[in-house]
A and B are shown apart, each in its own frame.
Chain A
Amino acid sequence: MLGMFKAMKTTVGHLLTKKVTVQYPEQREQLPERSRGLFRVVIDPAGDDPRCRACTLCETNCPVQVIRVNYTSKYELPVPNEARIRETRLTMQPKPDLAQLQPVIDHYRETGTGMMAVLQNTQGLYGYLPRLALEEIAVQTGSSLSQLYGVASFYNQFRLSPVGKHVITVCHGTACHVAGAPLITAAFSEELGVGVGETTKDRLFTLEAVSCVGACALAPVVRIGEDETHGRMTPDKARKLVAELRQREGVT
């Protein structure tokens, strides 16, 4: 009973406290600093002086790269922030050739194989799953983009951003782990300057770790691309391998 009285005391205590209701639209909620909304760039309000100067700072600094500044100048001036734009656009996806995608989608329609095969074939074509390709698949097959992303993000194999020319895969299976795979991954990571799952800036190398490639007798195993497999690796050999690959590409 006493507990009930305590509950009742609490509720009646709130009778005269400040209310949290915001009487919209007369009052508006104060949005927190980092809240997101829909931003519109005011380029040229019906006034004399257009506000936007095409300084491209917004494009450079946008963390998700959704702004593109297109402009023409009557003066032959260099693009401001060109280097920074190039660097940030590096992670942007190049436009894929969607004509190549059509046979894949047709095959799916004819044979009714699962969506996985479509995604695998798309990745086989482009090396990763470009967003534009996924949108095309969504439109043509009638599944939603979110469903495709759901499947693509679930499986380790699917990559949603472009990869480097050489994909260095370190095997982290049991036998390889026991033989010292983490040390090899650390060596690669240090030598290339990227973490696991990341691509180097020059887009030449991607470092990945997988669970088991099935060559356990040769632990630890490193695979370059699809074909080259190197067994019995050591951190030293790893560094040498990177040097060799760099030499092959003509980079230091």
Chain B
Amino acid sequence: MHVFLAILRCVIAIVIAYLVVFVAALVNILFERRTLAFMTDRLGPNRTGWQGVLQSVADAFKMMGKEDFAPAQVDKVVFTLAPIMVMIGAVSIQLVIPYTKGWVGQDLNVGLIYIIAVTGFTVLSILIGGWASHNKYALVGALRAAAQMVSYEIPMILAVLVVAMTVGSLSLNAVVALQAGYKWLAFYMPFTLLIFYIASIAELNRGPFDLPEAESELVSGYNVEYSGMRFGMFFLNEYAGLTIMSMVVVTLFFGGWQGPWANALVIHRIALVPIVWFLIKTYVLVFLLVWVRLSLPRLQVDQLMGFAWKILIPLGLANIAVSGAILLWAPHWHLVMAIYSWVALLVFVGLFDIVLRWRLDRQRKKVAVLA
């Protein structure tokens, strides 16, 4: 009986996970299109269904109706495998994310590391997708994407390490528990949040870091040979990732499901109100992602890699060192950590422009001397 229940629970969990991913993807697509439209003085799709809610569904049907086409010389197994594999990351992360009090797939005690590890699946499937396409541009795009994602995983890990040090555990439930009573880590270590957030935008191939999939670069990158539902899979994964990554950020820095009236509605030991808070917080962050994507120009590939290796990683390492020192030796670590992190954030934001401008002037002077 227990075994049966356990298996049933697994199946339900998997179904929910996939449902969340797909629904989130569809919702995100519409959400993004509408938000981008509103911010650019347009209305966005508002005809299909009430205010356009069925637009994504219509797009999905369209994509499913397309011819399932694979070019003649592709590596057939891998070509089919890549889009199937790509969702694994998004789905698997949900295993450890607590949606509400008492409801988490499996409270792994290495939850944080698990999250980082599983995002690697996306990298892998992009790589093999680009390789299998038998197209040099797709391959170059895939390699670039992989390089980007791998490079930005490091600052992610560095930021997560700080969180882990603060919490003292790698379990996500512990992270959420620490943030009870509005003691959100976002208030105490905004600098770490910034590093993690920037790294996560790059992991998602979103916003200013969307070089691998930009239409004007490399003829649409790694998914150039994919069409119809195969492309649909990559596409949906990307948008699902928005939600999933925002969920991770919310869990780590914004208190997860915490919010007022947490115990108001409880069914079968699952509180329903915190889910609402969780979703609200997640979607605020999704909005932020969409907003950033609209406003900022794309980074060039050398700027992208340079930013990761020369700026984010050293800062992440310094951050770990200082945070670790504070956690070890500072009395009232909350206060000291907050002061340090806010100061670090302000200094970083302020100095960023100045340092870049100084470097540019120096370079220009060097060139002018040569000329």
Contacts and interface: CB of A to CB of B under 8 A. Distances in A.
A18 B291 CA distance: 18
Interface string B13-50: 00000000000000000000001011111110000000
A14 B349 contact: no
B198 to A, nearest CB: 11
Interface string A145-183: 000000000000000000000000000000000000000
Interface residues of B, number: 18
B38 A19 contact: yes
B353 A12 contact: no
B346 to A, nearest CB: 10
B69 interface: no
Interface stretch (B140-148, B212-220, B292-300, B362-370): B292-300
Given A1-B353, A2-B349, A3-B353, A15 B39 contact: yes
Contact of A1 (B39, B40, B348): B348
A1 B349 contact: yes
Contact of A10 (B35, B43, B295, B350): B295
Nearest to A5: B349
A70 interface: no
Contacts of A2: 349-350, 352-353
A146 to B, nearest CB: 31
A229 B1 CA distance: 115
A180 to B, nearest CB: 48
A246 B301 CA distance: 76
Contacts of B296: 4, 7-8
A11 interface: yes
B359 to A, nearest CB: 15
Interface SS of chain A = helix
A7 B298 CA distance: 13
A21 interface: yes
Interface in A1-58: 1-4, 7-8, 10-12, 14-21, 23
Contacts of B35: 15
A4 B43 contact: no
B295 A7 contact: yes
A10 to B, nearest CB: 7
B295 A19 contact: no
Interface string B313-356: 00000000000000000000000000000000000111011000
Contact of B43 (A7, A8, A17, A21): A21
Nearest to B194: A1
B358 to A, nearest CB: 15
Nearest to B349: A1
Contacts of A11: 39-40, 291, 294-295
Contacts of B291: 8, 11-12
A4 to B, nearest CB: 6
Given A19-B43, A21-B43, A4 B38 contact: no
A1 B294 CA distance: 15
A245 to B, nearest CB: 63
Nearest to A22: B43
B292 A20 contact: no
Contacts of A12: 39, 291
A28 to B, nearest CB: 16
B293 to A, nearest CB: 10
A12 B353 CA distance: 22
A19 B41 contact: yes
Contacts of A1: 348-350, 352-353
Given A4-B296, A8-B291, A8-B292, A15 B349 contact: no
Given A4-B295, A7-B295, A8-B295, A14 B352 contact: no
Contacts of B348: 1
A4 B43 CA distance: 25
Contact of A14 (B41, B43, B292, B350): B41
A62 B349 CA distance: 64
A4 B40 CA distance: 17
Given A1-B348, A1-B352, A19 B294 contact: no
Contacts of A23: 43
B40 A14 contact: yes
A7 to B, nearest CB: 4
Contacts of B295: 4, 7-8, 10-11
B352 A20 contact: no
Contacts of A4: 295-296
A20 B44 CA distance: 11
A182 B291 CA distance: 63
Nearest to A4: B296
Nearest to A20: B41
Contacts of B349: 1-2
8 contacts: A1-B353, A4-B296, A12-B291, A14-B39, A19-B37, A19-B38, A19-B42, A20-B42
Interface of B: 35, 37-43, 291-292, 294-296, 348-350, 352-353
Interface of A: 1-4, 7-8, 10-12, 14-21, 23
Given A4-B296, A11-B40, A23-B43, 19 more contacts: A4-B295, A7-B295, A7-B296, A8-B292, A8-B295, A10-B295, A11-B39, A11-B291, A11-B294, A11-B295, A12-B39, A14-B40, A15-B35, A16-B38, A17-B41, A19-B43, A20-B41, A21-B37, A21-B43
The 7 closest A-B pairs by CB, nearest first: A7-B295, A21-B43, A1-B352, A8-B295, A1-B349, A11-B295, A11-B39
